[in-house]
Amino acid sequence: MQSFDLAVIGSGIGGSLISALTSKNTHKTVALFEKDKNLGGCATTFKKYGNFYNAGATTLVGYEDGHILKKHFNTIGIIPNISKSKIAIRVVQEDKIIDRVKDFEAFLSTIEKTYPNKNNKLFWEKIKQIDEKFWQLQHIYYGKYSFKRYLKTTFFITELLKTFQFDIFKTAQGFIKATLGDISKEYQNFINAQLLITIQTNSKDISLLSMALGLAYPFHDVFYVNGGMGSLIEQIVKDIEVKKNEEIKKIIQDGKNYVIQSSKNEYKTKQLVLNSSIYQSARLFENKEIQNYYKSFSFSDQSAFVIYLTLDKQYDFLEHYQFIYKEFLPNCISNSFFVSFSKSDDEVLSKNGTSVTISTHTKANFWRYLANYNEIKEETQEFIIKRFLEYFTSLKKENISKIHSATSFTFNRYINRYNCGGKAIKFKNITELPSCNTPFDGLYNVGDTVFAGQGWPGVALGVDVLNKELNGNS
């Protein structure tokens, strides 16, 4: 039986980063397991019908001085093959166009023309200021199940209170009301549609701090990953022992070790990190206590509906668009969808034309039990494609050479997860959030369903906390 010091299950952003950091910083033997033939989980790039597509994640944020992601990349020793986007996102809302750009004054000028409000500057300056302060915090940490971890968590919360003072207790909706007043439904939709992408919820359910982090990401450098997001994952784990096409079937606790039974072999590890969804990890274990631990977290019933297109030639559109409508899309929980185009000079994604990923939000369980699954899937796909072509008038349906789509049912088939992301972080629920550590020695979690949440910056922050737990690195 092959033995490792650390085994990581799932090659998403979190699993790949912690594998590479552990291998680079320690003398531990590391193995990374992935069920699929492609690495990256929700951030993978896959091939179908001879064309390549980004499965979900299409933007890279946080690769800049002073941010945790660049710190991780520097430690691992990689320079990503990326291009900075001049416009992070072009938001199209009926007849309005708002470009989310890093230049604050340029963005403010646009938002003032689109949604005039005497306090726009006050509102968006506060959003930017909170975000900047957060990324300057020195003791970001969240852990449970021991006195030392609770003490470190308390120290982090104390730093939050000292830095943000009364702002830490403000709700997002309360701050909108206090600064912008009774804004139009369209302005509210503009805010909420972006929050749904970044933190998986809207302003009614979150704190001011969470809203600031969700809305401010276009004030950072936003990058396009050349060759697809999966190529970056491959680069991160290039020096790791990676076991692709190897699904983990069962994990058995054996004293201070864990025995991992896969579809191909059996292994033993001293430390085990799950980069799987925390809501679907119970099924992996034989130990009832571990099963009950994972079952104690209520399922986050949110997923994505994603359409993949290949256009008949290389087109020069912006890399990222968001389209916002007055009503929800059919069979979805969102009134918007996000479009990503491959760059015309991308030798992988644009080899046979332009690769397009279109995504929106749906309920995970909605797709699991549909009797008329294919019919509903086709209805949703056709509606979104119609709206897509209404804006890009230079395109006709005949310009789409390949088209297919994915639901929560599809994601579970390939990457063993129905949902996308975890619960939104609120000050009042912080003690209920899953942490990277567990009550069981040697067992850890990482990824977008545990602290610190979604996207490259959020997951990279969670990896930083886990890296300190596993390897004593800061």
Q: What percent of the chain has pLDDT over 70?
A: 98
Mean pLDDT computed over 394-398: 96
Average pLDDT, the chain: 95
Question: DSSP for 169-180?
Answer: G-BHHHHHHHHH
| pLDDT, tens digit (0-9, with 9 covering 90-100), for 121-175 | 999 999 999 999 999 999 999 999 999 999 999 999 999 999 999 999 999 999 9
Together in a domain, 290 and 381 = no
Query: How many domains are contained in the chain?
Result: 3
HSE (side-chain half, CA atoms, 13 Å) at 124: 24
| Residue span of the structural domain in which 157 resides | 111-219
Any domain includes 332: yes
User: Facing residues of 82 across strands?
Assistant: 225
Are 176 and 203 within 8 A, CB to CB? yes
Any domain includes 80: no
Together in a domain, 182 and 115 = yes
Any domain includes 257: yes
Together in a domain, 281 and 430 = yes
Is a pLDDT exceeding 70 seen at residue 474? Answer: no
Any domain includes 195: yes
Q: Look at residue 453 in the predicted model and tell me its pLDDT.
A: 84
Measured CA to CA, the distance from residue 350 to residue 344 in angstroms comes to 6
Res. 346 pLDDT band, cuts 50 70 90: very high
Domain-terminating residue out of 393, 414, 435? 414
CATH number of the domain encompassing residue 252: 3.50.50.60
Any domain includes 105: no
Helix (H) or strand (E) holding 154: helix 147-164
Domain-terminating residue out of 169, 187, 219? 219
Q: Look at residue 143 in the predicted model and tell me its pLDDT.
A: 94
Together in a domain, 256 and 392 = no
Mean pLDDT computed over 175-189: 97
Res. 427 pLDDT band, cuts 50 70 90: low
Are 104 and 111 within 8 A, CB to CB? no
Measured CA to CA, the distance from residue 317 to residue 465 in angstroms comes to 38
Mean pLDDT computed over 281-291: 96
Any domain includes 265: yes
Any domain includes 348: yes
Mean pLDDT computed over 171-184: 96
| pLDDT, tens digit (0-9, with 9 covering 90-100), for 228-238 | 999 999 999 99
